[in-house]
Amino acid sequence: MLGFQTKQTNQEQMVGSYRRLNSSEGRTNVPGNTSQCCCGCCCCKTRKRSRHLVLRRSMWAERFISCRLTFMTMSLLMLGGALYLDSLITAAPDILMDDPFSPDTEVLLVNVEELTFRQTYLDLKVPVSTSLAAAGYLERTVKYEICDDYDDICKTLGLDGKIFFFTCILGFGLTLPPFLLANRCTGKAVLQCLTFLPAMVMGFALAVWWLDAYLKLSNLKTVSFPFNLSNTNETTMIDMTFEDKRMFPSYSLCLMTLSGLALGLNFIFIMFP
């Protein structure tokens, strides 16, 4: 008898913990504590989270656009500065050579103050006594189209100088369309193509000047140079050996390198969603 009452009591407790739904809903009994679950609140949390993600995406997109505009503006300014300065590589070598004005085989060690490689010519500045020149140095300009007849390095520098000029102009022109369409164009594929073209052009110019011109000049040991002898009206070729070149990239090459890096970063930023 006691066992039956205990079983009945347990059943009543179990029934009390359930609630019956309306028959129209076609559902069975569910635990009463599930009625405390607020589905609306979960939906609100999901909506708030999705709105937060959208705001974060838009915020990062605006930051990427701002960075890209900064990179392209810097690239345009640096390309213009590289063309204006026209100073690609500088050196201050010590040259060992025979004295062209001496009948004997006298060897001279010439300390060059500045040797600047430009787009179409090179500048040579040699310090001398004030009795020979009031300025304290002798300066001479040699065009690549003249010295390429007797030295192959002039042919390389002449060709690379043309590549430098045309790639800077082309890179400047190809950077303008993505710069003007950064906030207006909605087609991402179009912007990716427009940003890839100037980066590729500047990458080609940098490969030419760093891997061709700079490396060849770094490994250069001897060059030939003509000297006009005024007393005999003859031209003699003198071999000049570089003891120490002390060669560095100059303003234009540095600006072109920074411009290429900025355009490369611009293309990387456009790849982000």
| pLDDT tens, residue order, the chain (273 aa) | 444 444 444 544 544 544 554 544 444 444 444 444 455 555 455 555 577 666 666 666 677 778 888 889 999 999 999 999 999 999 999 999 888 777 677 788 888 989 999 999 999 898 887 777 777 788 889 899 888 877 788 899 999 999 999 999 999 999 998 888 876 666 678 888 888 999 999 999 999 999 999 999 999 888 888 777 666 667 778 888 998 889 999 999 999 999 999 999 888 888 765
Closest CA relative to residue 182, chosen from 109, 27, 76: 76
Tell me, yes or no, whether 238 lies in a domain.
Answer: yes
pLDDT reported for residue 35: 45
At 180, which amino acid appears? Answer: L
Separation CA 162–CA 169 (nearest Å): 11
pLDDT reported for residue 238: 83
Separation CA 219–CA 214 (nearest Å): 9
Which residues, listed in sequence order, are joined to residue 117 by a DSSP beta bridge?
Answer: 89, 122
Q: Residue 106 sits in which domain range? A: 52-270
Q: Report the number of distinct structural domains present in the chain.
A: 1
Closest CA relative to residue 243, chosen from 110, 136, 59, 143: 110
Q: pTM higher than 0.75, yes or no?
A: no
Tell me, yes or no, whether 22 lies in a domain.
Answer: no
What does the radius of gyration of the chain's CA atoms come to, in whole angstroms?
Answer: 38
At 176, which amino acid appears? Answer: L
Tell me, yes or no, whether 29 lies in a domain.
Answer: no
Closest CA relative to residue 77, chosen from 168, 194, 138: 168
Tell me, yes or no, whether 68 lies in a domain.
Answer: yes
Separation CA 265–CA 85 (nearest Å): 25
Q: Is 229 left (phi over 0), alpha (psi -120 to 50) or beta?
A: beta
Tell me, yes or no, whether 25 lies in a domain.
Answer: no
pLDDT reported for residue 215: 92
At 233, which amino acid appears? Answer: N
Residues in contact with 248: Cβ distance below 8 Å, sequence separation at least 6, in sequence order = 89, 90, 91
Closest CA relative to residue 112, chosen from 102, 121, 104, 124: 124
Tell me, yes or no, whether 39 lies in a domain.
Answer: no
Quickly count helices (H) and strands (E) in the chain.
7, 11
pLDDT reported for residue 203: 93
Report CA dihedral (162, 164, 169, 171) to the nearest 10 degrees. Answer: 140
pLDDT reported for residue 159: 94
pLDDT reported for residue 146: 85
Report CA dihedral (160, 165, 168, 174) to the nearest 10 degrees. Answer: -110
Tell me, yes or no, whether 200 lies in a domain.
Answer: yes
Answer yes or no: are the C-beta atoms of 171 and 164 closer than 8 Å: no
Tell me, yes or no, whether 254 lies in a domain.
Answer: yes
